[in-house]
Amino acid sequence: MNLTTKRTLGVVAAVAISFGSVVATSAQAAPKSVTLAFESPLTGSEAGLGQDELLGTQTALYEYNLTNPTVKVNLLTADDQADSSQSPGVALGLAQNKAVIGVVGSCCSGATKAAFPAFKAGRLTVISPSATNATLTDPKSSVNGFPFFHRVAATDAFQGPALARYANKGITSPKDYLIDDASTYGAGLKALSTPSLKKAGVSIVGSDTVIAPATDYSATASKVVASHANVVIYFGYYSDAGKLKKALDLAGYKGAYASGDGTDDLGYITSAGKESAQGTLITSQSVPFELAAPASVLADFTKATKLASPASHAYVTQAYNATNVFLQCIKEGHTTRSSIQSCVATETFTDVTGAKFNFTRYGDIAQGAPVGAYIVKDNDIIPVGNA
């Protein structure tokens, strides 16, 4: 046998093993190990969010395994590309996989909503780190996720009014310009902020929608300057928030700039440039992981993910909290889908900062997560109390 043949055989064997291993996963009675699924986009254009959240889940699992638990927890990563046409198939696969007892995911409201029928069919409990669209837990909606869907991020129904208040705080005769990114999150948050703005007597001098990711924000910046607005609120994620801020500065805009939790990420400061980012107002229901987590957890983060810092990685906190909800239930001996379901629905959990929380009947955090107000100063996003 020559070398090439040997190599080829080796590759064939490796492929065969990896394919075979897929088939071999099956459930056993009295489990010594259970599987948690992590469903989020891991490839494709939305992969950033999913890959970031995976870090939080990995950290939580790393810490869990350090305690030498009696029940081992395996992680099954399921890529749905944040695509609502792929997520139902993935979700149904998870629902049919008897080993899976809970799902962390999906990142995004659209993919999550599309997966509800499959999760309901499999009676599988889901905790999303970041799907904040209000309809997902709306008791009046016929397509909500009751009773299997939960989320550790507070809905934008809390954040919208708070952002509206915070952006216009201390400004005499505010004239607001609203810009969203045409995502489910951005457009939704804009819709939830607008009524509060109107109620507060703020005049909305203009509105624009720029489908993200966009290249060029200079036209929008020109419109803002022409409208003589003194407050700009951006509803979208940090990368495009930074590009917009940069364009506004170059166009000569001098007023306030505010954004929601999509911008609550140190990546925003690099995106906008340090100079441009200064003084940006940000609201968020949760603190970025690098600020929220105690030093020991941050050290675990580095060990678990081989990354120096969670800065620029969004929603790590929420993914960490969501995973820990499941892990606490597993620690207490809940290892079937139905007992996990009742555990998640009824018990009280601890988040990364040490605060206690539990879920409402429809899956939201009962404590309603206070909306924090932040401001960008130097290379940091620093808290300034509640918005």
DSSP 165-217: HHHTTT-SS-EEEEEE-SSHHHHHHHHHHHHHHHHTT-EEEEEEE-PSS-S--
Using the contact rule CB under 8 A, the part of the chain among 108-116, 254-262, 280-288, 366-374 near another protein is 108-116
Torsional class of 258: left (φ above 0), alpha (ψ -120 to 50), beta (otherwise): beta
Taking the C-alpha atoms of residue 177 and residue 43, their distance in angstroms, rounded to an integer, is 34
Rounded to whole angstroms, the Cα distance separating 340 from 144 reads 20
Q: Which of 89, 85, 138, 132 is nearest to 107 (CA)?
A: 132
Q: Which is nearer to another protein, 381 or 387 (CB)?
A: 381
- Record the tokens describing residue 136, joined without a space: 């997902």
Give me 111's structure tokens.
Answer: 């993919």
Q: Does position 278 bind another protein by CB under 8 A?
A: no
- Asked if residue 208 binds another protein (CB under 8 A), the reply is yes
Site for another protein in 113-132 (CB under 8 A): 113-114, 116-118, 120-121
Token code pair at residue 85: 């046409």
- Between CA 110 and CA 226 the distance in angstroms is 35
| 51 contributes a contact to another protein by CB under 8 A | yes
Instruction: Choose which of 28, 215, 296, 346 interacts with another protein (CB under 8 A).
Output: 215
In the complex, minimum distance from the CB of residue 10 to another protein, in angstroms, rounded to a whole number: 18
Q: Which is nearer to another protein, 144 or 339 (CB)?
A: 144
* 173, 179, 280, 338, 353 from 241: Cα distances, Å: 24, 10, 10, 42, 27
Q: Binding to another protein by residue 273, rule CB under 8 A?
A: yes
The residue from 71, 157, 270, 278 that contacts another protein (CB under 8 A) is 270
Q: What count of Cα atoms within 13 Å lies in the side-chain half-sphere of residue 367?
A: 15
Q: Mark the segment that binds another protein (CB under 8 A) among 58-66, 73-81, 162-170, 278-286.
A: 73-81
Taking the complex as a whole, how short is the minimal distance between the CB of residue 211 and another protein, in angstroms?
6
The H or E element that residue 178 is part of is strand 175-180
∠ CA(68), CA(73), CA(77), 5° rounding?
Answer: 140
Q: Does 102 bind another protein (CB under 8 A)?
A: no
Site size toward another protein (CB under 8 A) is 82
Residue 18 contacts another protein per CB under 8 A: yes
Q: Which is nearer to another protein, 209 or 328 (CB)?
A: 209
**Contact status: 68 vs another protein (CB under 8 A):** no
Amino acid in position 260 = G
* Residue 376 found at the interface with another protein (CB under 8 A): no
- Scan residues 30-49 and list those touching another protein (CB under 8 A): 42-45, 47-48
Q: How many CB atoms lie within 10 A of CB 305?
A: 17
Of 85, 245, 236, 42, nearest to 156 by C-alpha is 236
- With CB under 8 A as the contact rule, the residue among 146, 147, 204, 218 that binds another protein is 218
Beta strand pairing call for 356-357 and 372-377: unpaired
User: Does residue 56 touch another protein according to CB under 8 A?
Assistant: no
Which residues in 293-332 contact another protein (CB under 8 A)?
312-313
Q: What number of other Cβ atoms are within 10 A of residue 311's Cβ?
A: 19
- Per CB under 8 A, the list member of 36, 60, 78, 376 interacting with another protein is 78
> Residues 147 to 206: which contact another protein by CB under 8 A?
182-184, 187-188
Decide if residue 383 touches another protein (CB under 8 A): no
Which residues between 335 and 374 bind another protein (CB under 8 A)? Answer: none
Considering only 102, 110, 262, 310, the residue that binds another protein (CB under 8 A) is: 110
